[in-house]
């Protein structure tokens, strides 16, 4: 059996600033999206046979040309994304073949530098029987829950908290059911599965899988890439 991957890359990345949508911002001379695709392809244990990328409407053709050199024998499909991240994933999911796929990965273009071993841990956990799997790292900040005027209402025990990353991995039927249920406001795909009552398993993530969100994240990404190229 094989893996399919969905990359939601249709966000504008307003917190990052600049004119270019986030997935097309360059680090070390390549777009974040290119780095993300290379990472998935490098995870050979995943056996990626189909990649569906959701991009800003109107950029489908350009992105197809840009990514083709990196996908090898993996089938590449590029579609226009939607208004919210989950709309982009849902649109892409409709193009993932049903036959021959035992794991669907959903991976943010913005987490372009996730290491191969973290990707392979996710796939292995799905193949071992988990229905939904997320890579996770411990949180280093103390996290507060706040009310409408910013007042602190609770401080969850930090030892019970993790920050989750992508790629998140799913049994295909579970991901399809989760998206069909259409919960509004989901910020990741695991959340949609939780809403169905599906158990979501965590596996070890990586600090390198940080999400490029703010301008300083681009500096961190450049430094990480320079270190990897040494
Ligand atoms: O905005 P945020 O950083 O949470 O976005 C996570 C990922 O979802 C990014 O790769 C972004 O391009 C993608 N996205 C999308 N469609 C949207 C919004 C975000 O594909 N409408």
> pLDDT tens, 172-213?
999 999 999 978 889 999 999 999 999 999 999 999 999 999
Instruction: Among 16, 40, 83, 88, name the best residue to mutate to test ligand 1's pocket (greatest count of ligand atoms within 8 A of Cβ).
Output: 88
What's the pLDDT at 18? Answer: 81
pLDDT of 158-169, one tens digit each?
999 999 999 999
CA of 16 to the centre of ligand 1 (A): 12
Q: Is the CB of 10 under 6 A from ligand 1?
A: yes
Q: Is the CB of 88 under 6 A from ligand 1?
A: yes
Q: Is the CB of 85 under 6 A from ligand 1?
A: yes
Q: Which domains, ranges and CATH numbers included, belong to the chain?
A: 2-226 (3.90.550.10)
* 168-170 and 145-146 strand pairing: unpaired
CA of 207 to the centre of ligand 1 (A): 19
If you average pLDDT over every residue of the chain, what do you get? 96
Atom of ligand 1 nearest to the CA of 82: 21
CA of 10 to the centre of ligand 1 (A): 6
Residue 80: partners with Cβ closer than 8 Å, 6 or more residues away: 10, 54, 55, 56, 57, 58, 60, 91
Atom of ligand 1 nearest to the CA of 109: 10
**What is the pTM for the complete model shown?**
0.97
CA of 85 to the centre of ligand 1 (A): 5
ipTM: 0.97
CA of 12 to the centre of ligand 1 (A): 7
Atom of ligand 1 nearest to the CA of 111: 10
pLDDT of 99-134, one tens digit each?
999 999 999 999 999 999 999 999 999 999 999 999
């Amino acid at each position: 059996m094989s893996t399919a991957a969905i990359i939601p890359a249709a966000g504008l990345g307003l917190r990052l600033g600049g004119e270019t949508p986030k997935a097309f911002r360059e680090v070390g001379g390549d777009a974040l999206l290119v780095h993300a695709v290379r990472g998935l392809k490098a995870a050979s244990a995943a056996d990626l046979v189909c990649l569906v990328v959701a991009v800003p409407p109107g950029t489908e053709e350009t992105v197809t040309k840009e990514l083709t050199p990196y996908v090898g024998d993996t089938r590449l499909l590029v579609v226009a994304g939607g208004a919210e991240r989950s709309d982009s994933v849902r649109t892409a999911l409709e193009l993932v073949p049903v036959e021959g796929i035992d794991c669907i990965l959903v991976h943010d273009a913005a987490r372009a530098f996730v290491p191969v071993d973290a990707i392979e841990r996710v796939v292995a956990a799905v193949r071992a029987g988990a229905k939904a799997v997320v890579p996770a790292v411990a949180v280093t900040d103390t996290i507060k829950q706040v009310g409408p005027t910013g007042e602190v209402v609770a401080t969850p025990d930090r030892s019970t908290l993790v920050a989750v990353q992508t790629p998140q991995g799913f049994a295909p039927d579970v991901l399809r059911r989760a998206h069909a249920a259409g919960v509004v406001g989901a910020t990741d795909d695991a959340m949609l599965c939780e809403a169905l009552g599906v158990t979501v398993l965590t596996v070890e993530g990586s600090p390198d899988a940080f999400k490029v969100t703010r301008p300083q994240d681009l500096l961190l990404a450049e430094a990480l890439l320079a270190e990897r190229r040494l």
